[in-house]
Chains A and B, each alone.
Chain A
Amino acid sequence: MSVRTGSVVAIVLLLSGAGCSAHKPGVQSASVSSQSTGSAVLGSTWADASKMPDLFSGMWMTFSGMVEGDESLNVPYTEKAQKYVDAWKPKRDIPYAQAGCTSPGLPIGMRAGPSKFSYSPGLISIYMQSVGHTRFIRMNQQQGKTSPKYYGNSVGHWEGDTLVIETKDFLPEVTFQYGVGKKGLPPLTTLGTANLGPPPGARPPGGAPPGGAGPAGLESLTKAIWGPHGEGMYMVERMRLADPQTLEVKLTIYDDTVWTKPYVAETRNYKRIQKGISEIGPFSGEPEEWVCTVSITSFDPKTNTYVDKDPEEMVKYLDSLGR
């Protein structure tokens, strides 16, 4: 090769290299981005696995309570939603409980137990152990035409150190929290404590999360107003490592059939659970199966009553399984 040809070749290579790195987020570019190391398309190659903030080691768990408990976060309701809220009667127990422990969907699924993030190019999966289901976050892609899903359709991209997840098109079966009501039911007649989150006033290890203490678990559950969502409802989550052991999650929900402004949930901190490393206890940080097979005592929010399966019937059923 002559020097001149070599120079031309070199120039062409330089130009093509520059062109390849100029991709904007939201553009599908898995094959091209292998040459790019810019954060614009972070999350599209195997090499990116070691470049992204480590959301993947161990599992994440929050202590801030499952529902919103801060009344000051309430936003004005639409006329239709206001009627619904005015007619709402506080529940004695978990307001979104359904028969057979059907998943309460998002965001509860991410709050009621540990979650495991996994990566492969173009996809971040989030296993939510509290419900035994996985969310799929398509990285650096457009939503495109979607069909309604239980956990919605999610696309994600990195903005600097923050993972931004946009989720839309939820099935009508899933209900959401409209806000915090004025009155709950007295705690003595309502809720247990063991499985519902830290008691009122409890602080997670390391102190209160930024922005103040987490909502009081017991009281919050009976004051929470739960209702159906509009078709256009969507969520935006912003997740970033506040420190190597803490994942800060900000959530905003948009639904113009319910609120006249977006609902900004309380910022939640999740602690990393990892064997021998987590400061909050001896956990393996490994995901476990969660499959709900038989719910024996359940709460019906519609009637505000408990339903218990009779022991005689349960024994007959268990005998029939051949145990």
Chain B
Amino acid sequence: MRNKSLSRKSGCLLMLSLCMSTAWAHHGGGTFDPNKCFAFKGTVRQVAWANPHAWLYVQVLKPAGTSELWGFEFGTVGGLSRAGFRPSDFAIGTKVSITAYANRDVAKHTASVTRLILPDGRDVAGAAVAGTAPAGAPPGAGAPPPGAGLPPGAGPPQLNTHCPDYK
């Protein structure tokens, strides 16, 4: 008996992540901590438009006015291209807001992205473009937060509110 609607939706998301992010070979999500989700703000310092994962290097702003260099992992360049993004969208100096799961090792400033918002309001989110979901994350952790798919004219998308600001 086919359970088409539910399995189709989850199949779509999973399919997207498999199809677009064939980043099997080097690691799963054990690097990143599902309990350390943060909201980051900063400016782009460099872009690695590469497979198996595209990475963005960002000077992250801290409340005291200092900044730290962080690396943020996305999905494959195929997935990003398909979602309409290009390296030029992440030009050096671009101001970005990012939600991501940080490395289990606090000394390593890397994180796996669930969502990134560009200055023009475009939002890089979804299983096709997100970084590896962290080990032990609840189902759907790599998926866009509720409300991500806003209808036109609904105003700029908001980041996950349950991820505290990175300090």
What is the chain B residue whose CB lies nearest that of A298? B26
B residues 5-30 touching A (CB-CB < 8 Å): 7-8, 10-12, 14-19, 21-30
Q: Given A205-B11, A308-B108, A318-B46: A299 and B30 within 8 A (CB)?
A: yes
Interface centre among B8, B71, B103, B127 (most CB of A within 10 A): B71
Say how far B135's CB is from chain A's closest CB, in angstroms.
5
Indicate if the CB atoms of B110 and A308 lie closer than 8 Å.
yes
Residue-wise interface mask of A (195-206) relative to B, using a CB-CB cutoff of 8 A (1 in contact, 0 not): 111110011111
Interface-facing stretch out of A2-10, A39-47, A91-99, A238-246: A91-99
A residues 287-307 touching B (CB-CB < 8 Å): 288-299, 306
Interface residue A311 (Cβ < 8 Å from any Cβ of B): yes
A residues 243-272 touching B (CB-CB < 8 Å): none
A280 to B29, CA, bound (A): 25
Interface residue B144 (Cβ < 8 Å from any Cβ of A): no
A306 to B107, CA, bound (A): 14
Say how far A65's CB is from chain B's closest CB, in angstroms.
11
Q: Given A193-B141, A283-B19: A306 and B48 within 8 A (CB)?
A: no
B136: A residues at CB distance < 8 A: 187-189
Interface residue B73 (Cβ < 8 Å from any Cβ of A): yes
B55: A residues at CB distance < 8 A: 296, 314
Interface residue B83 (Cβ < 8 Å from any Cβ of A): no
Q: What total of chain B residues lie within 8 Å of the partner, measured CB to CB?
A: 62
A204: B residues at CB distance < 8 A: 7, 11
- From A101, A290, A312, B26 is in contact (CB under 8 Å) with A101
Residue-wise interface mask of B (71-91) relative to A, using a CB-CB cutoff of 8 A (1 in contact, 0 not): 101011010000000000000
A114: B residues at CB distance < 8 A: 19
A79 to B48, CA, bound (A): 48
Indicate if the CB atoms of B18 and A113 lie closer than 8 Å.
yes
Indicate if the CB atoms of B46 and A290 lie closer than 8 Å.
no
What is the chain A residue whose CB lies nearest that of B24? A112
Chain A binding surface, main DSSP class: loop
Say how far A99's CB is from chain B's closest CB, in angstroms.
8
Indicate if the CB atoms of A194 and B25 lie closer than 8 Å.
no
- From A130, A188, A199, B24 is in contact (CB under 8 Å) with A130
What is the chain B residue whose CB lies nearest that of A204? B11
Q: What are 23 A-B residue pairs whose CB atoms fall within 8 Å in the complex?
A: A61-B18, A93-B30, A94-B24, A98-B25, A112-B18, A190-B135, A191-B28, A191-B29, A192-B28, A192-B32, A193-B142, A194-B29, A195-B17, A195-B23, A205-B4, A205-B8, A206-B2, A280-B11, A281-B15, A296-B55, A297-B27, A310-B108, A318-B46
Which residues of A pack against B, CB within 8 Å? 61, 63, 66, 92-94, 96-98, 101-104, 108, 112-114, 129-131, 187-199, 202-207, 221, 273, 279-281, 283, 288-299, 306, 308-312, 314-315, 318-319, 323
Which residues of B pack against A, CB within 8 Å? 1-4, 7-8, 10-12, 14-19, 21-32, 45-48, 50-53, 55, 57, 69-71, 73, 75-76, 78, 92, 103, 105, 108-110, 127, 130-137, 139, 141-142
Shortest 8 CB-CB contacts between residues of A and residues of B: A192-B29, A113-B22, A191-B28, A299-B27, A194-B133, A188-B136, A311-B71, A130-B22
